[in-house]
Amino acid sequence: MVEKTITVGVNGISYTRTVEPRMLLSDFLRQELTLTGTHVGCEHGVCGACTVLLDGRSARSCLTLAVQVDGLEIETIEGQGEIDCLGRVQEAFRQHHGLQCGFCTPGFIMAVTDLLRHHPLESDEQIREALSGNICRCTGYENIVNAVRELARERGPLT
């Protein structure tokens, strides 16, 4: 199999790596760049745990090949804040207890970041519909909706 060299920006840092054409973006991030915050759940694009932003728009990294992102800017959960200085979306999830086990949380944070940048989210119904591509088995979603509602109302800086 012929390998391909790609260059991507990830959380503001440029990386050049040689990858196999069949390598998934989720594997590239986790194995090649050791950015393990992007979780892999279903591996079929259904659960949303692997959500990252490609040029500012959410994408399933388990359905995207690494060679497809050559030249793009990728945002992962690692670029959203630090343990001692959470990003705004992370802080809202913490304040509203919008997480339990935390497995789905990185995907939700990335999806919410995209949604807040590009969609009005003016009602709980809109929020729930917008988040329907991310699955959480623990929270029951109510606290996640509460966090997103607060963020949509304030529309302050997200990170």
Q: What is the mean pLDDT of residues 14-20?
A: 98
Residue among 87, 57, 62 at smallest CA distance from 72: 57
Strands 73-75 and 4-10: parallel
Q: What is the pLDDT of residue 50?
A: 98
Using one digit for the tens of pLDDT, what is the confidence trace for 19-56? 999 999 999 999 999 999 999 999 999 999 999 999 99
Using one digit for the tens of pLDDT, what is the confidence trace for 98-129? 999 999 999 999 999 999 999 989 899 999 99
Which domains, from first to last, does the chain contain?
Answer: 4-78 (3.10.20.30), 88-154 (1.10.150.120)
Structure tokens at 98: 């919008």
Rounded CA-CA distance 147/128 in Å is 12
Rounded CA-CA distance 114/58 in Å is 6
